[in-house]
Homo-oligomer: A and B are copies of this chain.
Amino acid sequence: MPDPHDCPGCAAPDLAFAAHDHAHCAHDALNRAEALTAATGARLTPVRRRVLEILLEEHKALGAYDVLSRLAQEGFGNQPPVAYRALEFLVDQGLAHRIQRLNAFTACTHMGEDHAPAFLICRGCHSVAEAAATAARAAVETEAARAGFQVERTTIEALGLCPACRVPA
């Protein structure tokens, strides 16, 4: 059983692309989610927990209906609001993110860090990673200020190729 600090995925969670003990990575994330929700009084109910587990299975974004069909197979409700509500909860709690470009959702890899990342979306394997966006956000706000615009939230999504997909086979 690996010490937490031996897991490259957890040590450098930006790098969803890096090989890592993903089972451990996901398990760790779920524990963190439990702790965070317990701390704030938010309720990580069975549906919500299961949706998070589903999102954690891979570093990819899943559509609400993908999640829903998984839930339905497992005996949860099979109508869209079941999935959308759980996903909305996770996003509100900072446990998942919505990827605008894909109309899809992905588990957060920096739970509890109060971050506002940029997303790196691989058009080859469809994996999604988070990258630091502090500098980019600052640059946007500087430009916005020149127009007198007051930024509240900024979405930054980059489409391209992950390390594995850059080298064909």
Contacts and interface: CB of A to CB of B under 8 A. Distances in A.
Contact of A144 (B101, B120, B135): B120
Contacts of A131: 140, 143-144, 146-147, 149
- One complex includes copies of this chain to the number of 2
A153 interface: yes
Given A155-B156, A161-B149, A133 B123 contact: no
Contact of A139 (B135, B144, B146): B135
Interface in A1-58: 14-15, 17
A155 B158 CA distance: 6
A83 B85 CA distance: 32
Interface residues of A, number: 42
A120 to B, nearest CB: 5
Given A100-B155, A101-B100, A143-B118, A148 B163 contact: yes
Interface string A134-169: 011111111110111111111111111111001000
A163 B150 CA distance: 8
Contacts of A72: none
A61 to B, nearest CB: 14
Contact of A149 (B122, B139, B153): B122
Contacts of A141: 158
Interface in A67-105: 100-101
